[in-house]
Amino acid sequence: MPAFAAMFAQPAGSPIRELFPYLSQPGMISLAGGYPSPSLFDAEGLALAATQAMSSGPQALQYCATEGLPALREALAAQTRERGMQASAEQLLVTTGSQQAFDLLVRVLIEPGDTVLVEVPAYPATLQALRLAQARILPVPMDEHGLQTDALAELLRDLPLAQRPKLLYTVPNFSNPRGTLLAAQRREALVQLASSHGFWVVEDDPYGELCFDAADGSTPPMPTALRTLGDRLGAAVNPVVYLSSLSKTVAPALRVGWMLADGELLRRCTIAKQTVDLCTSPLAQMVSACYLQSGRYPATVQRARAEYQRRMQALVQGIASQLDGLVHCTPPAGGMFVWATFAQSIDPQALFDAAVSRQVLYVPGKAFFPESAQVHAMRLSFAAPEVPQIEQAVQRLAQAVAQVRR
Ligand code: PMP
């Protein structure tokens, strides 16, 4: 048999997808996947949109332009403007999930050995895409206010010229896995650093709309997008590329994401996409466009925000009452994830094995770091299980912790 390409000779699969076999074990409660809650899918609204898409003429069944269907690009541009950014349909590429958008950027920008800055802990699929591209991954630490821009500035100062970074990847809103919201001053600092050091910033934002209400019941204002700050630089090219997705708010099965970027970069990503899939499924695009035009989207998002907040509170309160002093987490202000750290005296692998044997699943912290190391943390997703299941999962986790502390 002819040899595989070097990067696929000994490939490591996605650490999250490798947990799938555990999921099928009867009675397992999963806090592992970043899956939206099935009870929040607006199946009725999507069925109406699907019927409308099918009766809209042959467009939905034909190939379309790689950039995307005009109706969807318009709807997504309007959506992006509502998030405070300047966006026109022409500046926007429809992608097959936002996952594809990042992959296209890597194809277009990264050569083997190029330096890429990544906030850590990081979304594993980003690390995987960069590894396969043979990028040199430079981790930038985070704290509870997101990526640490002071540490980034220092890192950049000490970097030899030959290792100047091409791009930086961040999830500023309710990051995966830490759940953090990037502080306002850090947003400014990050965009300034990108401008002065000449690297692209990939602002990956699938969770921004899933923000939780404040303690007084008010909805916090949407944080300023890095892309908007990039526009304010007034430079010829905005260094920020904005990515988002309908996966977390409408349905991941649509596989509809989008990229907002300046012309030259967008054009190259479009060319890269031509060889990947010609175009994102026009049927899925038409259903998405009809759904967004139907006016049901805001209520769907509102329902998700309220329900995820309830589930997050159940998880965080459960941890506080049953794992006090042993497992620590900061309640996130939105999104789908709680990052929980645990005592150094607890062995991460032993805890994972004990948790699985007690039928509760989470993603071990090491999945989110570029180098394999002992990480005394785990990502707990509260999005898919209902509140009673979350409560049961925390009880099981507490038993697992008690078992391995002995
Ligand atoms: N970025 C982040 C941070 C994510 O968590 C995910 C999904 N887990 C994606 C991108 C990809 O989402 P999709 O391709 O479904 O749009």
pTM comes to: 0.97
Ligand 1 atom nearest residue 102's Cα:
10
| 117: phi then psi, degrees, rounded to nearest 5 | -90, 135
C-alpha 123 to ligand 1 mean position (Å) = 8
The domain spans of the chain are 11-42+299-405, 43-295
pLDDT at residue number 24: 87
* Cα 124 to averaged position of ligand 1 atoms, centre (Å): 10
Pocket of ligand 1 contains residue 98 by CB under 6 Å: yes
Give the number of other CB atoms < 10 A from CB of residue 169: 27
Ligand 1 atom with the shortest distance to the CA of 246: 16
- Report long-range pairs for 341-348 (Cβ below 8 Å, ≥24 apart): 341/365, 341/376, 341/377, 342/376, 342/377, 342/378, 342/401, 343/376, 344/376, 345/405, 346/376, 346/401, 346/404, 346/405, 347/404, 348/374, 348/375, 348/376, 348/378
Cα distance between residue 203 and residue 85, in whole Å: 13
Q: Distance from the CA of 282 to the center of ligand 1, in angstroms? A: 20
Report the C-alpha gap between 156 and 172 in whole angstroms. 20
The third-level CATH classification (topology) of the domain covering 11-42+299-405 is: Aspartate Aminotransferase, domain 1 (3.90.1150)
At 370, is the secondary structure helix, strand, or coil? coil
The CATH number, out of the four listed (3.40.640.10, 3.40.718.10, 3.60.20.30, 3.90.1150.10), of the domain defined by the range 43-295: 3.40.640.10
Ligand 1 atom closest to the CA of 257, numbered from 1: 16
Residue 153 and residue 190 in contact, taking contact as beta carbons nearer than 8 Å: no
Answer yes or no: is the C-beta of 249 below 6 A from any ligand 1 atom: no
Number of the ligand 1 atom closest to the C-alpha atom of 336: 5
What ipTM was predicted for this assembly? 0.99
HSE (side-chain half, CA atoms, 13 Å) at 350: 13
Largest CA distance in the chain: 66
247 lines ligand 1 (CB under 6 A): yes
Query: How far apart are the C-alpha atoms of 280 and 95, rounded to whole Å?
Result: 6
Residue 20 burial (CB count, 10 A): 14
| CA distances for 92 relative to 77, 95, 180, 261, 269, angstroms | 7, 9, 27, 7, 11
Find out whether the beta carbon of 206 lies less than 6 Å from any atom of ligand 1: yes
- Choosing from 174, 248, 258, 336 the residue with most ligand 1 atoms within 8 A of its CB, the one to mutate for a pocket test is 248
Answer yes or no: is the C-beta of 34 below 6 A from any ligand 1 atom: yes
Q: Is 95 in the pocket of ligand 1 (CB under 6 A)?
A: no
What is the layout of strands, in order, in the sheet containing 363-364? 327-329, 337-342, 377-381, 363-364
**Is there a contact between 203 and 170 (Cβ–Cβ < 8 Å)?**
yes
Instruction: Going residue by residue through the chain, which has 406 residues, state the pLDDT in tens, using 9 for 90 and above.
Output: 889 988 888 877 777 777 888 988 899 999 998 899 999 999 999 999 999 999 998 999 999 999 999 999 999 999 999 999 999 999 999 999 999 999 999 999 999 999 999 999 999 999 999 999 999 999 999 999 999 999 999 999 999 989 999 999 999 999 999 999 999 999 999 999 999 999 999 999 999 999 999 989 899 998 999 999 999 999 999 999 999 999 999 999 999 999 999 999 999 999 999 999 999 999 999 999 999 999 999 999 999 999 999 999 999 999 999 999 999 999 999 999 999 999 888 999 999 999 999 999 999 999 999 987 789 999 999 999 999 999 999 999 999 999 998 6
Walk across the sheet containing 165-170 and list its strands.
92-96, 256-260, 240-245, 200-204, 165-170, 115-120, 136-143, 146-147
What is d(CA 180, CA 200) in angstroms, rounded to the nearest whole number?
21
Q: Indicate if ligand 1 lies below 6 Å from the C-beta of 124.
A: no
Q: Which atom of ligand 1 is found nearest the CA of 96? A: 14
Q: Whose CA is nearest to atom 9 of ligand 1?
A: 99
In angstroms, rounded to a whole number, what is the distance separating the alpha carbons of residues 152 and 239?
Answer: 17
Are 404 and 342 contacting, i.e. CB atoms less than 8 angstroms apart?
no
Pocket test for ligand 1, best of 17, 93, 98, 204 (most atoms within 8 A of CB): 98
